[in-house]
Chains A and B, each alone.
Chain A
Amino acid sequence: MADKKRSTPKLDELEKGPWPSFVKEMKQAAEKSATAADALGILERSYNDKIGHWKHGGIVGVKGYGGGVIGRYNDIPQDFPDVAEFHTVRVNQPAGWFYTSDALRKLCDIWERHGSGLTNMHGSTGDIVFLGTKTPELEPIFSELTEAGFDLGGSGSDMRTPSCCCGMARCEWACYDTMGLTYDLTMHYQDELHRPAFPYKFKIKAAGCPNDCVASVARADLSIIGTWRDNIQMNKDAVAACATGGKVDIGKDVVAKCPSKCMDWDGKNLSIDNGNCVRCMHCINVMPKALAPGKDRGATILVGSKAPIIEGALLSAVMVPFLKLEAPYSDLKELIGAMWELWGEHGKNRERIGEFIQRVGLGNFLEQIGLEPVPEMVTQPRTNPYIFYDVKK
């Protein structure tokens, strides 16, 4: 039992109301852990001082690895000695975030033995995040994790732990095996994951369909988003059932909301001009029994999104409109290799690949990585004068 109980009137406010509260969880952890108690205390202090008291970085990690541990310290250690060091440990999550209860217990036991007991399941990279430990605990944590079959994830200027939606394991819309691909990329790029060698971080996220449940288009330098090349599959009986079921107004809820206005409904027949469908998934999401992605499935490869850290936020842009993603994923790996080679050599320190493309220009970037320009790469292909492509294709 931790012997210190800190007064936290401001944080206590966050426990009120019917919703779950992180404060309640932290207080529970503080019953057993002095580190968790001080973490609560310094947070209350930050609310009072209106300033964050954390700083991060430095030389901290496990032998041989340059990623997986984020050194964290506070600037008032005299007041909060149990969080003078409060390092974060990132643990590579299983693809799709599937665990057995036994694996979860093992993870939590390791963390209660060597850290604050506080976890973040999962961080924005997708990793299991262990919050708050001291430098001497890092090697023991690492060896116990590896014994339990886990490894550290990425941090710093490396390939961050690739993550994906649950894909074919649970979702009928998955246009490729997101979990298979993520596992394959994680194993193939172990060196890039553990030994930072890039100008800055590089995130890979794999979504099985354009619903993009992992927000890859906004949060990954390489966004792999499932799509299809042929027509949307339609079950006419299910369309009729939808029309008479009373829950969906096909004209109002589906056709009128199609962003490319490529659907038509005459009260009996639903038709889709598939050539103009932009694969937004809206109609499929509203009528899941009647409509489904086509059968010729693969993924669109997009590059360049990032959150606003050094420069402003970017969304990923199309690099390859369609790729049949099948193991061993040689085409994708070739593309990744070409991009890393160019960005690695010419990227500035702390320049994400999306910013690099903006700086050198998309045309130059494509030429250097050996990719042919196609209209899908630019938002307004008919008006952009900088990208040249063969209009006949």
Chain B
Amino acid sequence: MNDINEQQVAEAMYAMVKEYHGKKNLKAMDLTKAMIEKFGEACTKDLCKAAIRQLMDSERCTYSYVGGSYIVLPPEKK
């Protein structure tokens, strides 16, 4: 089983949000599922939660509401 830490998951999530920016809105669960697929079982849902929290607290990502809640880049970083 590979070791994987919060920082690595946060970076991978951030890259995905950036890649999909303007093409598709991603929900927290979309990112979580993608990370579990990428990193395997070592990447738990709790680790994904912590990574999302880190992205929000550092203001690298923010939440938007378009019918549902999505994780997006903050306006100034687009």
Binding site for B on A (CB under 8 A): 56-59, 61, 63-67, 70-71, 155-158, 191, 195-200, 344-345, 349-350
Distance between Cα atoms of A126 and B22 in the complex (Å): 35
Interfacial chain A residues near B62, Cβ < 8 Å:
59, 61
Whether B28 pairs with A349 at a CB distance below 8 angstroms is no
In the complex, A225→B22 CA distance in Å?
A: 45
Is the beta-carbon distance between B56 and A195 smaller than 8 angstroms?
Answer: yes
For B59, B67, B75, the residue with the greatest tally of chain A CB atoms inside 10 Å of its CB is B67
A158 to B71, CA, bound (A): 13
Mostly, the B contact residues are: mixed
Chain A's closest residue to B67 (CB) is: A350
Q: Are B28 and A58 in contact (CB-based, < 8 A)?
A: no
Interface string of B59-77 (1 = CB under 8 A from A): 1001111111100101100
28 sample A-B contacts, Cβ–Cβ < 8 Å, listed by A number: A56-B65, A57-B64, A57-B66, A58-B65, A59-B63, A59-B65, A59-B75, A64-B56, A65-B56, A65-B63, A66-B69, A67-B63, A67-B69, A71-B65, A155-B65, A156-B68, A156-B69, A195-B28, A195-B63, A196-B68, A196-B69, A197-B52, A199-B27, A200-B68, A344-B29, A345-B29, A349-B27, A349-B67
Query: Which B residues are CB-close (under 8 A) to A63?
Result: 56-57, 59
Give Cα distance in the complex from A345 to B72, angstroms.
Answer: 20
Determine whether B49 belongs to the interface, using a CB cutoff of 8 Å to chain A.
Answer: yes
Contact pick for A57, options B52, B56, B67, CB 8 Å: B67
Contact among A57, A195, A198 with B65 in the assembled complex (CB-CB below 8 Å): A57
Most chain A C-beta atoms within 10 Å of own C-beta, residue among B53, B59, B68, B75: B68
Q: Is the CB of A349 within 8 A of B68?
A: yes
Chain A residue nearest to B29 (CB atoms) is: A344
Q: Which A residues lie within 8 Å of B67 (CB)?
A: 57, 349-350
Least CB distance from B51 to A in Å reads: 11
Known: A156-B63, A196-B69, A349-B68. A191 touches B29 (CB 8 A): no
Query: CB distance A59 to B49 under 8 Å?
Result: no
Of B28, B53, B56, B63, chain A has the most CB atoms within 10 Å of the CB of B63
Give the most central of B53, B56, B59, B75: most A CB within 10 Å.
B56
Residues of B in contact, count (CB < 8 Å): 22
Q: Could you say which residues of chain B place their CB within 8 Å of the CB of A200? A: 68
Whether B74 pairs with A59 at a CB distance below 8 angstroms is yes
- Pairwise interchain contact B74-A191, C-beta atoms closer than 8 A: no
For the complex of A and B, list the 3 residue pairs with the smallest distance between their C-beta atoms, beginning with the closest. A66-B63, A196-B69, A156-B69
Which residues of B in the span 24-43 have a Cβ within 8 Å of any Cβ on A? 27-29, 32-33
Residue with the highest number of chain B CB atoms closer than 10 Å, among A155, A197, A198: A197
Are A195 and B57 in contact, CB atoms less than 8 angstroms apart?
Answer: no
- Is the CB–CB distance between A59 and B56 below 8 Å? no
A156-B69, A195-B28, A195-B56 as given contacts; A61 in contact with B63, CB under 8 Å: yes
* CB-based contact B74/A157 at 8 Å: no
Task: Tell me the nearest residue of chain A to B53, going by C-beta.
Answer: A195
Q: What residues of chain A lie closer than 8 Å to B72, measured between beta carbons?
A: 59
Residues of B with C-beta under 8 A to A66:
56, 63, 69
Bound together, the chains give a CA A344 to CA B56 distance in angstroms of: 20
B74 neighbours in A (Cβ, 8 Å): 59
A59 near B64 (CB under 8 angstroms)? yes
| Residue pair B66, A191 in contact (C-beta under 8 Å) | no
Q: Tell which of A59, A70, A200, A349 has the most Cβ of chain B within 10 Å.
A: A59
- By beta carbon, the residue of chain B nearest A63 is B59
Determine the residue in chain B with the shortest Cβ distance to A200. B68
